[in-house]
Amino acid sequence: MEKNVRNPVFTAAYWSGAAGELRRPRSLVLAGLAAALSAVLSSLYIPVGINLRATAAFLAVAFGSLLFGPVVGLFAGLASDLVGYVLSPGGAFFPGYTLSTMLEFFLYGLFLYRSRLTVLRILAVKFLVNFGVHVGLGALWSSMLYGKGYYYFFARSLLKNALLLPVEVAALAAVFRAFLPLLVREGFLPAQGGKKLPLF
């Protein structure tokens, strides 16, 4: 079991296992639940500027992706964005946001699926999602939709995501710590060497 802890994402066995989740009914059900919950949580938000929102949807995305991995995560992200648009259509459908949602699920799955959970791993994936997807791509989509310059949206989104990063990392760490024994017992995670999330 120890060999699985390092999450060898560059091996064929890792991707074969991740793709195999597409054939597991439990993973597909979990993906549907995560996509639906993410869409619902995304519709409940605190507006913090033009096309800027603070939501708790990241909890559903990260937790779900940990369970079913990056491959199923791509499809869950697609479903989540489409369901979210149906629940709260705020204008014309824009595929850029669909791509961003798919990338979020994929990245969380890539970092967390079958992995040894640590605070640094959670920080790394949250940093990448916040600043790569939300800031980098989000500012691009907003500039295309609202006609303002890219750096206008980039600066505002950068500030919001920087402020939320430690709060979101702490929230994810608390959720994962609470469910860690269950996740290991049910085979979603390899043995972690304790009930607490280590720093490294």
Residue with tokens 């994936």: 125
CA distance 108 to 60: 11
**Structural domain total, the chain:** 1
Tell me: the pLDDT tens digits for 71-123? Answer: 999 999 999 999 888 877 666 688 999 999 999 999 999 999 988 889 999 99
CA distance 153 to 142: 7
**Separation CA 95–CA 101 (nearest Å):** 10
| Domain limits for position 155 | 2-185
* Structural contact between residues 132 and 93, judged by C-beta atoms closer than 8 angstroms: no
Q: What is the pTM of this model?
A: 0.88
Residue 38 domain-assigned? yes
Q: Are 63 and 71 in contact (CB under 8 A)?
A: no
Q: Is residue 190 part of a domain?
A: no
Residue 196 lies in a domain: no
What is the rounded CA–CA span in Å between residue 12 and residue 199?
Answer: 28
What are the φ and ψ backbone dihedral angles of 48, each rounded to 5 degrees? -125, 15
Domain assignment present for residue 45? The answer is yes
Looking at residue 43, which CATH number applies to its domain?
A: 1.10.1760.20
Structural domain contains residue 85:
yes
**Burial zone of 99 (CB within 10 Å; 0-12 exposed, 13-18 middle, 19+ buried):** middle
Residue 137 covered by a domain: yes
- 50 φ, ψ (degrees, to nearest 5): -65, 115
If we measure between CA atoms, which residue out of 139, 170, 145, 137 comes closest to residue 52? Answer: 139
**Cα 36 to Cα 113: distance, rounded to the nearest angstrom:** 20
Half-sphere exposure of 126 (CA within 13 A, CB side): 24
Q: Is residue 135 part of a domain?
A: yes
Give pLDDT tens digits for 138-193. 999 999 988 888 999 999 899 989 999 999 999 999 999 999 888 888 888 887 76
Decide if pLDDT at 196 tops 70: no
DSSP state of 49: E
Domain assignment of residue 195, yes or no: no
